[in-house]
Amino acid sequence: MAAAWGDLPLDAIAASDIEAMQRQIAATARSRRNSRSGRHTGEHVIAAARAVYNRAIADGFIDAAASPAHRVVKPRRLPSTRRALTPDELEEINLAARTSGNDVLLDALLLWLHTETVCRRGGALGLRLADLDTDRGLLRLTENDQGWDARQLRRGGPGLAILGPAAASR
């Protein structure tokens, strides 16, 4: 924005200028496997313009009604493409982990842990032997600096019987 409009005063930029920049940036956005055709890039252009104009309004350079960035409609977000793994996909991943790699026991345990508790990577990395309560089938997880959360594990699950001895031996 500074390159395109650096010499213009804030009140000389029109809403159509911001829309044109949005379309141009969206059209030239880098295409990746999970690309949304520059839709989010265009959204970020509008958000950046609004941030600049919010500062100008707060500092008294322009009136709130004079902000062209606030007259431009942000594109609606598309529904997420994220989805859960199918049982067949999960089984394929587990089979690959159990049959290849340098430490198949650890790989299988980590996959079991994530499947059973739905914990994040940080929760798995932060586990200690003291966090495992095999008598009650509980696992104490600490994730995202939000304290801890006790997760109930299935009784008789294969990972619960192996998790404690495996952790103690490492």
CATH code for the domain in which residue 142 is found:
1.10.443.10
Same domain? For 64 and 94 the reply is: no
Condensed to tens digits (0 to 9), the pLDDT of residues 79-99 reads: 888 888 999 999 999 899 888
Q: Is 52 in contact with 9 (CB distance < 8 Å)?
A: no
Instruction: Tell me the C-alpha distance between 49 and 1, whole Å.
Output: 8
Beta bridge partners of 141: 149
Strands (E), 54-162: 132-133, 138-142, 148-152
Structurally, the chain folds into a number of domains equal to: 2
Condensed to tens digits (0 to 9), the pLDDT of residues 13-64 reads: 999 999 999 989 888 877 777 666 667 888 889 999 999 999 999 999 999 9
DSSP assignment letter at 100:
S
Q: Assess whether pLDDT exceeds 80 at residue 148.
A: no
Q: Which amino acid is at 141?
A: L
Q: Assess whether pLDDT exceeds 60 at residue 8.
A: yes
Sequence-separated (6 or more) residues with CB below 8 Å from residue 143: 119, 120, 122, 123, 126, 149
Residue range(s) defining the domain that contains residue 94: 87-168
- Which pTM was predicted? 0.55
Condensed to tens digits (0 to 9), the pLDDT of residues 153-164 reads: 765 556 666 766
Same domain? For 93 and 160 the reply is: yes
Same domain? For 156 and 91 the reply is: yes
Residue 39 included in any domain: yes
Same domain? For 58 and 131 the reply is: no
